[in-house]
Amino acid sequence: MLVHQPRMKRRKAWAPALLATVVALSLISFPERRAEAADTTGPKDAKEVEAFVDEFFKRPDIKNSLAGSAVVVVGGDKVLLNKGYGYADVESKQPVEPDKTMFRMASISKVFTATAVMQLVEEGKIDLDQDVSSYLGGLTIPNEIGSKLTMRHLLTHTTGFDKTDVLTAPDATRTDYPLEQYLKDNLPTIVRKPGAAYRYDNLASNFQGLIVQNVTGKPFEEVIDERILQPLQMTNSDFRMTDKVLQQLATGYKQLNEPYPDYQITPTIAPDGGMFATSTDMSKFMLAQLNGGKLGEKRILQADTVKEMQRVQVGIHPELPNMTLGFEMFFQDKFNGEFVIGKGGDLEGYHSWMWLLPEHKVGGFVVTNSDASNIREQLFAAFMDHYYPKQANERPAITLTQSQLAKFEGSFRYLRAPLVYFKVKAEDGYLSIVGPNSTRKLKPVGELLFQDEDGKLGAFKVNDAGVISYFYYLMPDAWTERIPPLPDYSDIQRNHPYADDIYTLRDLGGVLDQISSQFSPERTTTRAEFAAQLIRLAGISKSKRPSNFIDVKAHSYESEIQTLVEIQVLNGTSAHNFEPDRTITREEAAVIVYRLSQYLGFPPIPAKLSGQTSPWADEAVQFIVGASLHGPEVKTTEAGADFRSRDPLLHKEAAPILVKFAKLFTLGSGI
What pairing do the DSSP bridges indicate for beta strands 68-75 and 362-368?
A: antiparallel
User: Looking at residue 395, what is its pLDDT?
Assistant: 82
Distance CA 340, CA 290 (A): 12
Higher pLDDT, 70 or 438: 70
Torsion of CA 14, 16, 20, 23, to 10 degrees: 20
User: Looking at residue 7, what is its pLDDT?
Assistant: 34
Q: At residue 671, does pLDDT exceed 70?
A: no
Q: At residue 633, does pLDDT exceed 60?
A: yes
User: Looking at residue 385, what is its pLDDT?
Assistant: 96
Distance CA 411, CA 397 (A): 24
User: Looking at residue 541, what is its pLDDT?
Assistant: 77
Residue 393 — pLDDT band, cuts 50, 70, 90? low
User: Looking at residue 169, what is its pLDDT?
Assistant: 55
In whole angstroms, what separates CA 446 from the centre of its chain? 28
Whether the CA torsion 571, 573, 578, 580 is positive or negative: it is negative
Other Cβ atoms closer than 10 A to 652: 22
pLDDT tens, 92-126? 999 999 999 999 999 999 999 999 999 999 999 99
What is the length of the chain?
671
Residue 668 — pLDDT band, cuts 50, 70, 90? low
Q: Is 235 left (phi over 0), alpha (psi -120 to 50) or beta?
A: alpha
User: For 82-113, b where at least 16 C-beta lie within 10 A, e where not — what string?
Assistant: bbbbbbbbbeeeeebbbeebbbbbbbbbbbbb
Q: At residue 2, does pLDDT exceed 50?
A: no
User: For 43-76, b where at least 16 C-beta lie within 10 A, e where not — what string?
Assistant: beeeeebbebbeebbeeeebeebbbbbbbbbbbb
Predicted structure pTM score? 0.88
**Same CATH fold, 402-482 and 46-387?**
no
Backbone torsions φ then ψ of 229, nearest 5 degrees: -65, -45
Residues 6+ apart with CB under 8 A from 671: 420, 422, 435, 436, 437, 438, 474, 475
Cβ–Cβ under 8 Å, residues 165 and 416: yes
- Span 402-482: which CATH code? 2.40.128
Higher pLDDT, 617 or 262: 617
Task: Lowest mean pLDDT of 416-425, 543-552, 658-667, name the range.
Answer: 658-667
Work out the average pLDDT over 378-402: 90
Query: What is the Cα Rg of the chain in Å?
Result: 25
Q: At residue 171, does pLDDT exceed 80?
A: no
Whether the CA torsion 202, 121, 124, 216 is positive or negative: it is negative
Of 316, 272, 294, 308, give the one whose Cα is nearest residue 27.
316
Angle between helices 527-538 and 558-566 (to 10 degrees): 70
The one-letter amino acid at 338: E
**Mean pLDDT for the chain?**
90
* Nearest-5° Cα angle at 414, 409 to 419: 105
The HSE-up count of residue 403 (CA atoms within 13 Å, CB side) is 0
pLDDT tens, 304-359? 999 999 999 999 999 999 999 999 999 999 999 999 999 999 999 999 999 999 99
Cβ–Cβ under 8 Å, residues 224 and 112: yes
Of 9, 4, 16, give the one whose Cα is nearest residue 475.
16
Distance CA 314, CA 307 (A): 15
User: Looking at residue 174, what is its pLDDT?
Assistant: 52
Distance CA 326, CA 157 (A): 9
**Alpha-carbon separation of residue 223 from 213, 214, 420, 482, 660 (angstroms):** 8, 11, 39, 41, 47
Q: At residue 39, does pLDDT exceed 50?
A: no
The HSE-up count of residue 593 (CA atoms within 13 Å, CB side) is 33
Q: At residue 170, does pLDDT exceed 70?
A: no
Q: Return the HEC string of 292-332.
A: CCEECCEECCCHHHHHHHCCCCEEEECCEEEECCCCECCCH
Of 546, 547, 512, 544, give the one whose Cα is nearest residue 530.
512
Distance CA 432, CA 425 (A): 5
8-state DSSP, 226 = I
Distance CA 494, CA 255 (A): 43
Percent of the chain with pLDDT over 70: 92
Residue 364 — pLDDT band, cuts 50, 70, 90? very high
The CATH class given to the 46-387 domain equals: alpha beta
Q: At residue 193, does pLDDT exceed 90?
A: yes
Q: At residue 59, does pLDDT exceed 70?
A: yes
pLDDT tens, 562-607? 999 988 899 999 989 999 999 999 999 999 999 999 888 788 999 9
Distance CA 254, CA 370 (A): 6
Higher pLDDT, 436 or 23: 436
Q: At residue 552, does pLDDT exceed 60?
A: yes
The one-letter amino acid at 267: P
Task: Lowest mean pLDDT of 20-34, 281-295, 454-468, name the range.
Answer: 20-34
Distance CA 502, CA 498 (A): 6
Distance CA 616, CA 290 (A): 58
pLDDT tens, 638-667? 999 999 999 999 999 999 999 999 888 766
User: Looking at residue 317, what is its pLDDT?
Assistant: 96
DSSP structure string for 323-381: ESSS-B--SGGGSTTS--EEEEEEETTEEEEEEEETTTTEEEEEEESBSS--HHHHHHH
Other Cβ atoms closer than 10 A to 40: 5
Work out the average pLDDT over 402-414: 95
DSSP structure string for 390-456: PPP-PPPPP---HHHHGGG-EEEEESS-TT-EEEEEE-SSSEEEE-SS-EEEEEEEETTEEEETTS-
Per-domain residue ranges of the chain: 46-387, 402-482, 499-669
Percent of the chain with pLDDT over 90: 80
User: Looking at residue 20, what is its pLDDT?
Assistant: 27
